[in-house]
Structure 1
Amino acid sequence: MPPLSSEPGREIDQALLNAAVERRRAERAAEIAARHEERMAAAAEGMRAFHGRMASTHRHVEQQHRTAARIHTVHAERLRRWSRGPIDAKEQPGLVQAVAETLGASGAALTLFEPETLMAASSPASRTAQCLEFALGQGPARASVELCGPVIAAGPQMAIAWPIYGPAVERLGIRAVAAVPVVAAGASLGALTVFDPPRAHGPDLEAFEAAAGTLAVSLLSSWSASEADGPSGRPPLVDQGDLWVVLNQAVGMVSVQCGSSTADALALIKAHAFAEDRSVDEVAAAIVDRTLRLG
């Protein structure tokens, strides 16, 4: 089948190329692991532990690359279905939707920290849940970054861990959450939150971490790409940019109106959103539209 000539066509081609690269890396890791497994069986006792560790490490790397390959393949298929849909089809699907589908979860969201920014969400409920975490200052993504490790909670555990956030996301129909850090080159970029992950056999943290690694690679590619490079090979991750432009503008307006710092202005917007049971972006939009004044 010839590649599509449109921008979605280039995205599809790149996603399929990414999947092929990840499969090759997985096969290479599998070959190395197999060699160490063979050598472990025949090695002297003093070397068996070494070959065992090497085999285990490369099997882990193999699974990471296989998960990444599945994510890119799902992303390509979602793009293909979207490109063949009606002209008024919803916005182009991004990589985070493919992550949620690959992990078998109801939704997923990518959040960066320093500063805290919602980069992408797979569904309206996922976006609302992550906006709640931003507004309330508590939740799995923040906890995962603070702990530098995975965070998992389900049912009553969510309310115990996060007394305000837990009940709030339960009202969205979310019954379980898991978050893992998104790390690149040893530095923590943020967190991937997975909503309602499969729980039949326990959370698959290895798959979650592989998905977070796939997003980290995409982020680094997007930051390093230039206009002269042509197609950057990155899926569209930043789907909430307008939201944060509006929020920053609202924070500036409230800061001037109240004569306060931007940190205090943001806290005031969050408090008003919570008191009125509205999302932070709704309150910010009202401030920018001058239909709401907090100072």
Structure 2
Amino acid sequence: MSESASGGSAQDRDADEDLATSLAGLAGLTSLGSTLESVLTQIATFAVQAIPGAEGAGLTLLEEGRSDTIVKTASFVVQVDDIQYSLGEGPCIDAAAQRQTMRSGSLGGDPRWPRFGPRVGRLGVHSVLSLPLITPAGVVGAMNVYAHGKDSFDEQSERIGEVFAAPAAVSVQNAQILAQTQRLAGHLQAALTNRAVIDQAIGILRSRGGLTSDEAFDRLRHISQHENRKLSAVAASLVEEAVNRTRLPARLKTPPPPS
């Protein structure tokens, strides 16, 4: 029986199985209880498993108003991506900007990246497959998959990479949204805590000097500016000092233990 009659070559079947396994892992991925970086690293690890020829991967999450989050699955990827982002030139940058897959099997001589390619080639890394991570909301990031050998990625690798990139983009976006929600919740909780401490400090100043609320707040703000400290830090110090003062007389009145 021919390979076509039996459903393709063993190599093709192995590639499809690796892709299915990676997609299943992606579907079961959860961000709860994990950091954003660890989730992105898991996604990049699944990409290495899914894409034929891959030896390491890096994933870049783009966030407006924040530094890009960059993760890697192998030490040599760290070197390659550091070169890429320090130069501002490379396949990952172009993949995200142009919303297109970038593939090269000879980075050292690739005219698209005349500075990046030769430096990476001297490290012995010659092949790359860069995939934009696109959702209906736009490009959320890009993924680089690398190999040391030349022409390590063919059309099948590119096809599988693009199949993997579609659900991977959704997983990246979900992890990003959860991380943003957690950061917002943390900021709101900190703001509420700071407001409560400031209100307590205002109450202390009013009781001590017969000040109005506005006058007490102006006093706190003046101290903050004069000492170059955050208003909440000044308020917390004042509250802590007041608490310690109330505890001192209590300690002095406590009789010593019997001898």
TM-score, with length taken from structure 1: 0.43
TM-score, with length taken from structure 2: 0.49
